């Protein structure tokens, strides 16, 4: 199970492209890469999940934590490029009502 995380930090806007699967094995890498960025004041963090093929509850936990951290530092957090399957996961858990999500392809960073 592999994950690739590409981070582009442009001023106070961070764009992250995640590729692969987010599960119990890869979530710690995602967390350790993104959490330090989430603690910057007034950060705008956009995470593109258009190349994520699978995510379990461990991945959801990482994004909830990131969302809370970014918001507690007066920042903005957004997920883009969600597949129908990932979007349904956020809908079922009620997180789609809390986290800014754009599942349209044009919402991605590409």
Going by pLDDT thresholds of 50, 70 and 90, the confidence category of residue 110 is: very low
How high is the mean pLDDT of the chain? Answer: 91
83 neighbors 48 (Cβ within 8 angstroms): no
CATH number, domain of 103, equals 3.30.750.24
**Beta strand spans in the chain (E):** 3-10, 13-22, 44-55, 76-80, 100-102
pTM equals 0.90
Which positions ≥6 away from 72 have C-beta within 8 Å? none
Residue 33 maps to a domain = no
Residue 100 maps to a domain = yes
Per the model's pLDDT, the better-predicted residue between 88 and 109 turns out to be: 88
Residue 23 maps to a domain = yes
Residue 36 maps to a domain = no
């Amino acid at each position: 199970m592999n994950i690739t995380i590409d981070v582009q930090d442009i001023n106070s806007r961070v764009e992250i492209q995640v590729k692969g699967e987010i599960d119990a094995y890869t979530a710690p890498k995602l967390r350790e890469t993104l959490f330090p960025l989430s603690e910057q004041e007034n950060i705008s963090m956009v995470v593109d999940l258009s190349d994520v093929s699978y995510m379990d509850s461990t991945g959801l936990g990482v994004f909830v934590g990131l969302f809370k951290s970014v918001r507690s530092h007066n920042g903005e957090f957004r997920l883009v490029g969600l597949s129908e399957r990932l979007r349904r996961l956020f809908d079922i858990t009620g997180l789609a009502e809390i986290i800014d999500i754009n599942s349209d392809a044009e919402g991605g960073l590409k």
